[in-house]
Amino acid sequence: MKYNTEEKTIVIDKELNLLDKFVITFVDILEKYTDYVIVSGYVSILLGRTRATEDIDLLIPALNIEKVKELFNELSTRFECMNAFRAEEAFSLLGEKISLRFFYPGNPLPNIEIKFAKTDLDRYSLNNKLKVIIRDNVLFISPLELQIAFKLFLGSDKDFEDAKHLYLLFEEQLDKRLLEQFINKLNVNNEFRRFMS
């Protein structure tokens, strides 16, 4: 695995597993209509942590109803939506800050959860995402410094382990000042000292 911090690119040399293929199939459709960034647990899994996950979290910028209709209708040719049957419903849910969950028809696990970016940190993730190249495929993930701090903020055992995995894997390349800013913003100084030392 190679991380070029100047180009904000990580190159991974590994065989694609079923979860990777699922995500790649989904984002190949998604990126025709909008920008996106992958956040949360799948970031750690993609970057080598061995654990299972049932969902993949993606943030997208707020879209108008026409764009949501186009996106929803094309996604529906390959995926089923767990909580909306029509594009208008999907738009309404996203507008209410509720995620949409998509999965392969008849197989609800794993699923992909998409939601509009709604906070400053969400927007930061979108605007400062990292490019991951894996077997000639491209995925975009949240900046590692934010990912680590946010995982500490979430606070479950698996979140702490995800944060620790990323920190130890990229410790030399992380922007420590930026990491400290996110740690302070999310008020996870104690968690950082406890789990990263």
pLDDT tens digits for range 82-106: 999 999 999 999 999 999 999 999 9
Closest among 85, 19, 97 to 52, alpha carbons compared: 19
pLDDT reported for residue 156 = 93
Give, as one character, the DSSP assignment of residue 13.
Answer: -
Residue 14 dihedral angles phi and psi, to the nearest 5°: -150, 160
Residue indicated by tokens 């100084």: 189
Give, as one character, the DSSP assignment of residue 129.
Answer: P
| Count of other CB atoms within 10 angstroms of residue 24 | 15
Pick the CATH number of 16-133 from 3.30.1490, 3.30.460, 1.20.120, 3.30.70: 3.30.460
Give, as one character, the DSSP assignment of residue 173.
Answer: T
Cβ neighbours for 120, distance < 8 A, ≥ 6 positions apart: none
pLDDT reported for residue 101 = 97
Q: Write out the H or E segment, with its range, that includes residue 72.
A: helix 65-75
Cβ neighbours for 112, distance < 8 A, ≥ 6 positions apart: 22, 23, 26, 55, 56, 57, 58, 79, 101, 102, 103
For residues 131 and 9, the answer to whether their CB atoms sit within 8 Å is: yes
For residues 49 and 135, the answer to whether their CB atoms sit within 8 Å is: no
The pLDDT of residue 197 is above 90: no
Backbone φ/ψ region at 27: left (φ over 0), alpha (ψ -120 to 50), beta: alpha
pLDDT mean across residues, the chain: 95
For the segment 155-167, the average pLDDT, to the nearest whole number, is 95
Tell me the whole-structure pTM to 2 decimals. Answer: 0.95
